[in-house]
Every structure is written in C-alpha cells, then in structure tokens.
C-alpha cells in the first residue's frame, strides 16, 4: 500500500505584483502536511518537495517527477500551488505562473496544469492511488473545473481526484485561502466527529473565513481516502475518535430530525428501558445516531442525553461490546473511571474467573460507581448479533436492568427478542407529510415529492436513498410506482458509473463485502487478497477506484490509511446481495478464508489483536468456514486462533459448542469435540473441578459413540487423569497415566505425539509425586524422541525442555536448572508468544531459581514482573497466578521481609483455599512456607503446633516421600531443636535420612539440608569429629546443588563455619 506524498510550490511571478504571504504560506502548508499527526505525508521528491520561486521548467519537472514516482509506487499524491495564476478568456485554459513565467501565458512560457496531468496519466505505466490538488491563485477555480472536464471526459473518468481552489473565476485575496486552510489542518474542526478532514469539510469553512473568495471543490469519485489531515478538533461527544464515529457521521449526513426522535426522547425520559422496534429501513439506526449527537437534532435531544452508544454488526464480540461502551463511559461519566479503580482494588471479594469480559469491563465497575443521577446507553441493531455473541450481550443487557441509575435504549427488527422489561416504541411507516418535510430540508423541488412518496410508501431508507439519487442527479425519475428495497438497490447499482469491463469485478467486491457482514469490518488489504483469489486485480489503488464508484453503498473507516476497513452500508443491502448473488457470496466466503490464511497464518502463539488481519481472523474466519459447511475446519480454526485470555476462549467455545450442538445433536462427533474444548478452557481459566466434571461426562459419551480404543476416547482419558492431578491428587494422576500408556502405544504407536504426551505427563506426575530423578530420566529420553519426530522448534519439544529444567531443580541441581531455563526462554517466547502460559511458567521458575542460586533481590524483581503478566493474562485468581503470588511472598522472605511475608500469607492462604481447595498442593506449599517464616520470626510455639497439624496432611495428600513432605519433615527436625535441644533432633534426623536418600537422592538440596542439621546436631552433642567428617562431605555438595551463591548457600556456609570448615 503506497504512501501519502506532498509537493508544495510557492512562487512569485517577476512580471506581476509581489505576494506578501509568500513564502510563509507555502512553508506552513508543507510543514503541516508533513506532520505525522496531521497531514501524515512524506515528500513527493527525493530531494525535498517544497519549491520556492521555481522556474517554469523546474515546476514542470517537479510535477512530472512527483506524479511518475507516485504511479510507480501506487502512492496517493497531493500537489499544492500558491502564487499567481491566470485564465484565458473564452476558454477553460488555466496557467500557473512561476517566477519566470511570461504574460499573457502560453504553454511554453507558463504551466498548463491540466494538460500536464492529462499527459502524465496517459503515459504512466503504474497507477496513482488518488490525486489531491490545492491551488491558491487568481482564477484557480477554472483550473479545477477544466481538470474535472478533461480528466473525466478524455481519460474515461478512471482517476480519483479532488481539487480545492481559492476562487471560481475571480481574483484571489491576500493568501486568506492558504492561511485558513493551514489553520484548519493545524487545529481541526470541532463540529466534525470523524478522525479525518476532507476538502468538502474545509471548503465552507474557508468560504466563511474569506468573504472575498468562493472556494471550489470539483471532484471525480470523491474518495474518503483523499483526506487532507487528521482532525485534531474532534467534538466532545464520548463516541468521538472511536470506531463508531464514521458510522454516526454517515447516518447523520443529510438527517432531518422528525417526530419519532422527539417522541423517543420523551419515552426514554419516562421509562428506564426502551426498545425501538421497526421493519428494515424504518430509520432505527439513524434515530440511535441522533440520540447520540444532540447538536445535529435542532435541540430536540438534550446535551449529554446519551452516555454511550454502540452499533452492533455481525462481527461485534462481547469483548468489543464491553470495551466500546466502557471507553465512552470513561469520558461521559466522571465517576466511572474511579469505579474501575475501586473495582480493581476491591475485587478480592469477587471470583473474577467467573466473570465474563462484559462483567469485568462494564457490569463490575458499575457496581462500584458513586452517586450518579442516570446513565443512558443506546444499543442499535440487536437483530445483527452473531449467534456466538448473542447470549453474552443479551445477558449483560438484562444485568443492566438491576441498576437504578441505568437507562437503556435498544433497537431491533420486529421479530427480534428484546431484553425483558423494555418498553416497545414501534416505528410505523412515515406519513406523507413527514416525508415531504424531509425532502424540503434536503432541498428537493416539490415536483419530486409525489414521485418519492409513491416509491417509498413511508420507508425512510427508501426515501433517503431516492433523495440522495436526486441530489446527485436531478434528472432522476422513477415511473414504477411503489418500490421495494430490493428494487431500490437494483436501481442504485444500475446508476453506478461502472465500466463494462469492471462489472464482474464490482459484483465480486459486493459479494466479498456481503460475506463479511454489514458495516466497515473488513480490512481493505484482506479484501484485496480475496479479490486476487477470485482472479481479479488485487492492488489497493484499483480496489479503491471501484469502491468509490459504489458511493453510498459502501462504508469506509480510516480511508486512505494502511488500517482502512470497508463494508456494506446497511444490513438490508447485505441481505440483498446475498440473495441476488448466492453463488458469488459462497465463493467469497471461500476466498476470504484463503486470504485470511495468507495474511494471518496459524501460529502457536495467541492472536495479536493489534494486527487487523489477525483480529479479523479471530473474529470472523470460523463464521466464513461455517457458511461454506466446513465444520471440521471451524473447529480447527477455533483451536488454533486463541486469545491470550483463557476466559475469552472459554466464552467463545461455549457459544460455538451451543451452535454445533443445536445443529448436529449432543452425541455428534463435532459436538463432542467442541465440548472437550469447553472442558479444556474451563481448566485453563482456573475452573479445574468443572473441567474434570465435563471430561468425566465426555468419557461416558466417547465410550458409547467411539468405543474404548478410539483416539478421542484415549484423549479424554488423558484429560481426566491430567485434571485429577491438577486438582491435587498427583498420585492417582500418575497411576491413570501409567494405565493409559500401553493403550495409546498399542493403538497409536510408540512415537505418536499423543503417546509421547502421555510419557511427558508420567514424567511430570512422577516429579509431582516425589520422584524427580525418575522424572528427569524420563523427560531426557522423551526429548530425544520428540525432537526426532517433531523438530526442535515444536511447542511439545520446547515444553519438554522446560520440564527438564524443572525436574533438574527438583532433583537437586538449581544452578543447572537456572542455566537451562535461561537458555530456553528466548526460543519458547519466540514460538509461543510472551503471554503463553508455558512461557509465564518458565519465567516464574527462573525467578525462583535466581533467588535461590544468585540473588533474592534479583529474583524478586523477576517474580513481580511475572505476577503482573499473569494477572493481566490469566486473571487474579487463576491457580498459576496464585502460585506466582506465593512465589513473590517467598522470595520477599528470602530478602528479609519476614513480617511482611507472614502478613501476605495470612491473606493469600484463605484466598487459595477458597479457589483451589484446602488440601490442594499449592495451598499446602503456602502453609509450609508460612511455617518457615514463623520460625524465622521467632514464633516457635505457633510453628510447632502448626507443623504437627500439617505433617499428617502432607503425608496423606502428597505422599510420605514427596519432596514437599520431606521438606516439612525437615522443618519438624529444626522445630525439635528449638523445643528439646539437639539430642532428640539428631535421633529423628538420622531416622528419616534413609527415606530422603531413597526419595530424592544424596545430591538433592533437601537431603543436603538434612545432613547439615545432622552435622550441626552432632557438633552440639559432643560428636565434633563425626560432625567435621560429615561436614567435609557436605561442603562439596553445597556448591553443586546451589552454585555457591544464594540464600541456601549462605545458610550452609554459616553452619559449616561453626563446624570449623571454612574452605567451602
């Protein structure tokens, strides 16, 4: 997609009077057009594109070079000339007069602008993406009109252009045109709600500021992409500078307020919840836009009447709905921003994982809002909700009824269900008088009234379209009597100035836009790729040429930019195109799928919603696949295109599962597969119990439908085992995985990815069950097999490497674990994305290992960073987030903040019990850490009773030989020292030492820690020789298991120094 380029020429003419406003006017215009936040252009020439007092030859060369370069690169070109100009009486000829021009002008002694443009356009090998011309000279209107006549007539109208000139056919005055234009581009226009200023916007403002001039704006296929600058003077309406501003502007354009608007204002003031009900074309959306923009309603709508408005399309997701409304409430309700803060600060009282995005973005903050009189929210086109989004959004609207201060206005077709309790306001067909008043306001002659009334029969959309046609072509006539919308749309298409060669291409454009749904939802470049798939010209410049021919039938946002999106202007037009060209629309769905997969290919990482192609793919690809009947690829698409938020994925799969189940039945394989995804995302979102419940239900179905050896039955057994472990029963999980392995090996083969996944889980649950050495051995063997069969960058291979690092730490080698983790992190992030749960897990481990082996302070910084990201990605109460919260507390204790850790754990442990269960392994680890900090704080009596209560639970839940159980037994030994002295502690330590050796080995940190206590106890009970001998054995292991640095290493060296061993 080409750039926006600018060439500015400011010139005196030596034979005429000096212009006092040059060169400043040219310099100011060039500056504002180059400003990235305003004109956003780049110089049209390599050496700079501001020419002051050039010669005739230099002027011609600059225009020619700029135009040729723009056509070569498919760029948009703006040419501005400020100075002297002269027309030839009795002709359309107009000349620019550079510094050495002769008068009267000739083609050799001056610059005949339109002839140059005509010749350049004819000989150019490329295609310019629109031309904008700004001329501030005497008689410059002649240039614009001559160009329009020449370029439309002689070039068959195949160039999109706009001219903005200072005068019609009179002298200019003192640079007022240029100075006013620069001021408007610099400061913006507050009466316009859109992000961009066009020639048609600034022309009347220049005329009002420059009373001696009549600016002209001749154009051919006026293109929204030919904007002059970004609008920095946007109005204060809360929807300004949002994605819906262009929609409101298009709806309000030529709007004449009528009695319905006045009635709805009154109706909404008397009733909390109102539903505007009407047939297609009855004006529902326009009324909603009028409610939101009071200044365009002749004081019918009070200022500030509406606080937020949204126009629903088929692409509107629950997340979009909540975000768009919340963004407006932040601007229109001062206390809403404070409510968001209060909600986020106090949501410890809520289970956020059970809140939808709508509840998090909108409902939750509203529950914390302070004193407010009323908030009115307008929701247009409920009938356009996609099946996937409908349940969530309708539920949110029902929830809004519970707030005394919330008022809603919704609109929908007659057959659409509206929220309970909404008072209906049904739009009847407009009467002849209302249509007549509207036509008068539009400036139509009375001779046309009967014709339009007969054709429209009170349908506002038909009346508006016909009025638009008459305004554009006053000779329009309809002799067919009453017209249906379909007939109107056929007439609109027939009146478009479409070349015969382009008819098929335009039909394909319409089909693609109909497939995408109503409103500007389809990225232009994605549309171009789809056109290429259908065998059409797919460059953006040509596509824009064809779009502007369709005029009001197409809506565009961010026109002329790389983020431009397009769509059909009304859902009834979508229906018309879909009905008229069903085969083409079906082909368009297929073409869009191909284009999506080209521009937004599947990746292992979550979808990048800042990328317009990835966002569209996430929201719409599955729908396109569903329309062409490819349910298998629907499921594959939904599986591959994930949000970084598990909650969003869960809601999405719930909606699709319901849709698939309704179509195919409960036991259809597609329904079972989507149900499995619902279970998976329940677990990923932190609802482990619910995930296990669904998987158990699925297993029953799979046995019935597929039998015991089906791949999906085996996968379901795998998931049941996994979530049994995740919910706290690691030993049963290990048992079930060991039972699954021979079945998967027999059915799938020993090197099938699913078989290897079972082996990976056996290794992980071996570690969780207290056998890290066996886990490490299995994982290292698995890495060889996975790398050979999948490749080194496959996610399963990278996660196996992550597991090896984890098992290495648990087996007693934290320094090696840290090295492996740091080495792996860049690869894992590159392949999976920085927000992937596996990446966050590795970062959490690296933080913990850094604190252990190197520096607690450094580890704390890393852990806090992970915690912040996990809260953002997973939610406050996801099990992984809670685990990281505990890690932060633990490392803070290693930094010496003992009292702070105890306070934090007193809050964190009840929270973890609530969300994970009182005997979940994570909760038990938190309680074990709490015991350690009690000891460090000198609260030994509390610690002793807590250890005696907790140790049997660890032995029952985790197993007697689990590393965490062993750590608690170690804590019990230290407590015995505090209570009874070293003698009894030594006996207990020597009794349990063989168990430590068997369970975790001699080189594990927990075993070395126990040996340190044994050596110290020997020393304290008079066995100094034995203590020193054991201490020397331990000294070599301290460096091995801790790297010689970190908290453990410091503690070990202190004990060994007490034994007289100083050479550690």
Q: Give the mean model confidence (pLDDT) for residues 617-631.
A: 93
What pLDDT is attached to residue 102? 93
Q: Give the mean model confidence (pLDDT) for residues 975-997.
A: 86
DSSP state of 51: E
**Could you give the CA distance from residue 1045 to residue 1057 in angstroms, rounded to a whole number?**
16
DSSP state of 5: E
- Mean confidence (pLDDT) of the chain: 85
What pLDDT is attached to residue 584? 94
Structure tokens at 1017: 């106890």
**Could you give the CA distance from residue 749 to residue 295 in angstroms, rounded to a whole number?**
71
What pLDDT is attached to residue 157? 53
* Superfamily classification of domain 728-811: Tetratricopeptide repeat domain (1.25.40.10)
User: Phi then psi for 355, rounded to 5 degrees?
Assistant: -100, 135
- Give the HSE-up count for residue 28: Cα atoms under 13 Å, Cβ half-sphere: 17
**Could you give the CA distance from residue 82 to residue 80 in angstroms, rounded to a whole number?**
7
**Could you give the CA distance from residue 520 to residue 246 in angstroms, rounded to a whole number?**
9
Whether 895 and 856 have beta carbons less than 8 Å apart is answered as yes
**DSSP collapsed to 3 states, 601-657:** CCCCCCCCCCCHHHHHHHHHHHHHHHHCCCHHHHHHHHHHCCCCCHHHHHHHHHHHH
Across the chain, how many H-helices and E-strands are there? Answer: 45, 19
What pLDDT is attached to residue 351? 46
What pLDDT is attached to residue 1030? 84
Q: What CATH class is the domain 245-426?
A: alpha beta
**Domain spanning 4-230 has what CATH number?**
3.40.50.1460
Peptide bond preceding 23 in cis form (omega within 30 of 0): yes
pLDDT digits (tens, 9 = 90+) for 528-557: 999 999 998 888 888 888 888 887 788 888
Q: Give the mean model confidence (pLDDT) for residues 610-637.
A: 91
- Count CB atoms within 10 A of the CB of residue 208: 9
Structure tokens at 773: 């050495």
| DSSP states of 859-915 | HHHHHHHHHHHHHHHH-TT-HHHHHHHHHHHHHHHHTT-HHHHHHHHHHHHHHHHHH
Residue 738 belongs to what H/E stretch? helix 730-748
pLDDT digits (tens, 9 = 90+) for 260-312: 999 999 999 999 999 999 988 888 999 999 999 998 888 899 999 999 999 99
Whether 842 and 872 have beta carbons less than 8 Å apart is answered as no
Neighbouring-strand partners of residue 82: 10, 136
Which of 145, 439, 423 has its CA nearest to residue 269? Answer: 423
- Of 123-132, 181-190, 465-474, 650-659, least confident by mean pLDDT is 465-474
Q: Indicate whether 730 pLDDT > 60.
A: yes
Query: What is the band of 30 on the pLDDT scale with cuts at 50, 70, 90?
Result: very high
Q: Give the mean model confidence (pLDDT) for residues 123-144.
A: 78
Which of 166-170, 422-426, 1041-1045 tops mean pLDDT? 422-426
Would residue 1055 be called left, alpha or beta, if left means φ above 0 and alpha means ψ between -120 and 50 degrees? alpha
Q: Provide the b/e sequence for 838-858 (b: ≥16 CB within 10 Å).
A: bbbbbbbbbbbbbbbbbbbee
Whether 226 and 162 have beta carbons less than 8 Å apart is answered as yes
Angle at 925 between CA 924 and CA 926, to 5 degrees: 90
Whether 595 and 589 have beta carbons less than 8 Å apart is answered as no
What pLDDT is attached to residue 423? 93
Q: Indicate whether 526 pLDDT > 60.
A: yes
Which of 592, 621, 618 has its CA nearest to residue 606? Answer: 618
Q: Which residues contact 885 (CB under 8 A, 6 or more apart)?
A: 867, 908
Structure tokens at 684: 């990923």
**Could you give the CA distance from residue 946 to residue 969 in angstroms, rounded to a whole number?**
12
Q: Give the mean model confidence (pLDDT) for residues 499-518.
A: 84
Question: What's the length of the chain?
Answer: 1064
Structure tokens at 195: 């992000």
Q: 3-class SS at 258?
A: coil
pLDDT digits (tens, 9 = 90+) for 427-473: 888 888 888 888 888 888 888 888 888 888 888 888 888 888 777 77
**Could you give the CA distance from residue 807 to residue 803 in angstroms, rounded to a whole number?**
6
What pLDDT is attached to residue 348? 42
**Could you give the CA distance from residue 519 to residue 508 in angstroms, rounded to a whole number?**
17
Cα 502 from chain centre: 35
**Could you give the CA distance from residue 838 to residue 858 in angstroms, rounded to a whole number?**
21
Whether 121 and 155 have beta carbons less than 8 Å apart is answered as yes
Q: For the chain, how long is the longest CA-to-CA vector? A: 124
**Could you give the CA distance from residue 652 to residue 660 in angstroms, rounded to a whole number?**
12
Q: What Å distances lie between residue 816 and 248, 820, 821, 948, CA to CA?
A: 61, 6, 9, 34
The domain segmentation of the chain, as residue ranges, is 4-230, 245-426, 432-495, 728-811, 813-874
Cα 398 from chain centre: 26
Structure tokens at 409: 């206005």
**Could you give the CA distance from residue 932 to residue 964 in angstroms, rounded to a whole number?**
13
**Could you give the CA distance from residue 918 to residue 933 in angstroms, rounded to a whole number?**
20
Peptide bond preceding 886 in cis form (omega within 30 of 0): no
Which of 526, 681, 538 has its CA nearest to residue 594? Answer: 526
Cα end-to-end distance, the chain, whole Å: 66
**Could you give the CA distance from residue 395 to residue 199 in angstroms, rounded to a whole number?**
44
**pLDDT above 90: percentage of residues in the chain:** 35
Q: Indicate whether 745 pLDDT > 90.
A: yes
Identify the sign of the CA torsion 833, 834, 839, 840.
negative
Q: Give the mean model confidence (pLDDT) for residues 826-830.
A: 92
DSSP state of 854: T
Q: Indicate whether 375 pLDDT > 60.
A: yes
Confirm whether pTM is higher than 0.85.
Answer: no
**Could you give the CA distance from residue 214 to residue 204 in angstroms, rounded to a whole number?**
9
Q: 3-class SS at 219?
A: strand
**Could you give the CA distance from residue 998 to residue 589 in angstroms, rounded to a whole number?**
63
Query: What is the band of 353 on the pLDDT scale with cuts at 50, 70, 90?
Result: very low
Q: Judge if 4-230 and 245-426 fold alike in CATH terms.
A: yes
- Give the HSE-up count for residue 144: Cα atoms under 13 Å, Cβ half-sphere: 30
Q: Provide the b/e sequence for 999-1033 (b: ≥16 CB within 10 Å).
A: bbeeebbbbbbbbbbbbbbbbbbebeeebbebbee
Q: Give the mean model confidence (pLDDT) for residues 70-83.
A: 94
**Could you give the CA distance from residue 442 to residue 152 in angstroms, rounded to a whole number?**
27
Higher pLDDT, 995 or 148: 995
**Could you give the CA distance from residue 180 to residue 137 in angstroms, rounded to a whole number?**
14
What pLDDT is attached to residue 634? 95
pLDDT digits (tens, 9 = 90+) for 223-238: 788 999 998 876 678 8
Query: What is the band of 388 on the pLDDT scale with cuts at 50, 70, 90?
Result: low
**Could you give the CA distance from residue 521 to residue 23 in angstroms, rounded to a whole number?**
44
């Amino acid at each position: 997609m080409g750039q926006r380029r600018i060439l500015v020429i400011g010139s005196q003419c030596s034979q005429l009077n000096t212009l006092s406003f040059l060169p400043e006017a040219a310099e100011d215009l060039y500056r504002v057009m180059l400003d990235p936040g305003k004109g956003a252009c780049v110089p049209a020439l390599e050496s700079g594109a501001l020419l002051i007092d050039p010669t005739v030859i230099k002027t011609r060369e600059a225009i020619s070079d700029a135009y040729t370069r723009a056509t070569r690169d498919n760029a948009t070109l703006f040419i501005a000339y400020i100075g002297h100009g002269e027309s030839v009486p009795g002709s359309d000829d107009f000349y620019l007069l550079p510094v050495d021009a002769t008068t009267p002008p000739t083609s050799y002694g001056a610059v005949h602008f339109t002839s140059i443009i005509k010749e350049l356009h004819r000989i150019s090998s490329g295609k310019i993406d629109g031309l904008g011309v700004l001329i501030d000279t005497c008689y410059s209107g002649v240039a614009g009109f001559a160009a329009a006549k020449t370029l439309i007539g002689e070039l068959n109208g195949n160039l999109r252009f706009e001219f903005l000139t200072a005068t019609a056919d009179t002298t200019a005055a003192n640079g007022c045109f240029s100075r006013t234009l620069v001021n408007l581009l610099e400061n913006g226009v507050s009466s316009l709600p859109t992000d961009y200023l066009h020639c048609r916007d600034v022309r009347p403002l220049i005329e009002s500021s420059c009373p001696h001039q009549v600016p002209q704006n001749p154009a051919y296929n006026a293109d929204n992409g030919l904007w002059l600058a970004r609008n920095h003077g946007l109005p204060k309406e809360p929807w300004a500078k949002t994605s819906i501003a262009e929609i409101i502007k298009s709806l309000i354009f030529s709007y004449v307020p009528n009695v319905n608007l006045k009635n709805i204002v009154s109706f909404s003031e008397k009733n909390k919840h109102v539903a505007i009900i009407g047939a297609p074309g009855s004006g529902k959306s326009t009324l909603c836009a009028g409610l939101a923009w009071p200044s365009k309603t002749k004081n019918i709508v009070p200022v500030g009447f509406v606080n937020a408005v949204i126009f629903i399309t088929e692409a509107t997701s629950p997340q979009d709905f909540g975000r768009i409304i919340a963004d407006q409430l932040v601007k229109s309700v001062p206390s809403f921003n404070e409510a968001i803060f209060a909600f986020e600060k106090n949501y410890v009282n809520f289970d956020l994982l059970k809140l939808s995005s709508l509840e998090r973005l909108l409902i939750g903050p509203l529950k914390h809002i302070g004193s407010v009189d009323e908030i009115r929210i307008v929701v247009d086109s409920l009938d356009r909700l996609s099946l996937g989004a409908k349940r969530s959004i309708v539920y949110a609207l029902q929830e809004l009824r519970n707030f005394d201060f919330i008022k809603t206005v919704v609109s929908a077709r007659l057959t659409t269900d509206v929220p309970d309790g909404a008072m209906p306001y049904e739009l009847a067909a407009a009467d002849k008088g209302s249509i007549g008043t509207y036509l008068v306001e539009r400036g139509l002659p009375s001779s046309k009234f009967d014709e339009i009334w007969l054709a429209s029969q009170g349908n506002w959309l038909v009346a508006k379209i016909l009025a638009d046609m008459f305004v554009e072509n006053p000779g329009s006539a309809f002799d067919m009597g009453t017209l249906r919308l379909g007939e109107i749309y056929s007439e609109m298409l027939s009146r478009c100035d479409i070349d015969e060669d382009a008819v098929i291409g335009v039909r394909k454009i319409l089909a693609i836009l109909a497939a995408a749904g109503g409103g500007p939802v389809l990225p232009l470049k994605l549309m171009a790729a789809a056109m290429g798939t259908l065998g059409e010209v797919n460059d953006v410049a040509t596509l824009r040429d064809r779009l502007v021919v369709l005029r009001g039938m197409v809506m565009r946002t961010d026109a002329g930019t790389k983020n431009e999106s397009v769509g059909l202007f009304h859902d009834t037009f979508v229906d018309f195109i879909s009905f008229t060209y069903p085969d083409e629309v079906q082909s368009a769905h297929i073409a869009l799928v191909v284009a999506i997969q080209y521009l937004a290919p599947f990746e292992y990482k979550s979808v990048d919603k800042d990328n317009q192609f990835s966002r569209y793919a996430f929201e719409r690809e599955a729908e396109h696949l569903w329309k062409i009947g490819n349910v298998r690829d629907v499921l594959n698409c939904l599986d591959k295109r994930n949000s970084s938020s598990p909650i969003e994925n869960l809601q999405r799969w719930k909606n699709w599962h319901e849709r698939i189940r309704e179509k195919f039945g409960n036991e259809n394989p597609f329904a079972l597969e989507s149900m499995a995804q619902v279970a998976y995302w329940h677990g990923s979102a932190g609802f482990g119990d619910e995930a296990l419940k669904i998987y158990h239900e699925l297993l029953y179905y799979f046995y019935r439908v597929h039998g015991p050896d089906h791949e999906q039955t085996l996968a379901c057994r795998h998931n049941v085992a996994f979530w049994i472990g995740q919910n706290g029963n690691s030993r049963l999980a290990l048992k079930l995985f060991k039972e699954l392995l021979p079945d998967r090996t027999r059915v799938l083969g020993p090197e099938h990815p699913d078989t290897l996944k079972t082996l990976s889980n056996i290794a992980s649950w071996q570690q969780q069950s207290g056998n890290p050495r066996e886990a490490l051995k299995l994982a290292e063997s698995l890495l060889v097999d996975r790398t050979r069969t999948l490749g080194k960058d496959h996610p399963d291979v990278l996660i196996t490497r992550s597991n090896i690092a984890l098992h290495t730490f648990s087996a007693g080698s934290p320094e090696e674990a840290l090295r492996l983790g740091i080495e792996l992190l860049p690869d894992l992030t590159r392949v999976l994305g920085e927000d992937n749960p596996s990446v966050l897990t590795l970062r959490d481990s690296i933080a913990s290992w850094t604190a252990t082996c190197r520096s607690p302070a450094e580890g704390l910084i890393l852990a806090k960073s992970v915690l912040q990201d996990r809260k953002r990605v997973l939610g406050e109460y996801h099990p992984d987030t809670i685990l990281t919260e505990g890690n932060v507390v633990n490392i803070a204790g290693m930094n010496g903040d003992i009292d702070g850790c105890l306070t934090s754990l007193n809050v964190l442990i009840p929270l973890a019990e609530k969300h994970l269960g009182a005997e979940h392994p994570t909760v038990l680890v938190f309680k074990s850490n709490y015991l350690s900090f009690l000891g460090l704080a000198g609260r030994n009596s509390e610690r002793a009773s807590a250890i005696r209560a907790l140790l049997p639970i660890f032995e029952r839940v985790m197993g007697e030989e689990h590393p965490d159980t062993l750590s608690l037994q170690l804590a019990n030994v230290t407590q015995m020292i505090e209570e009874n002295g070293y003698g009894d502690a030594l006996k207990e330590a020597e009794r349990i030492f063989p168990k430590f050796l068997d369970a975790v080995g001699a080189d594990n940190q927990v075993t070395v820690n126990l040996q340190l206590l044994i050596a110290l106890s020997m020393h304290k009970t008079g066995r100094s020789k034995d203590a020193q001998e054991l201490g020397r054995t331990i000294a070599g292991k301290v460096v091995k298991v801790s790297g010689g640095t970190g908290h453990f290493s410091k503690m070990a060296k202190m004990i060994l120094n007490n034994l007289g061993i100083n050479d550690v």
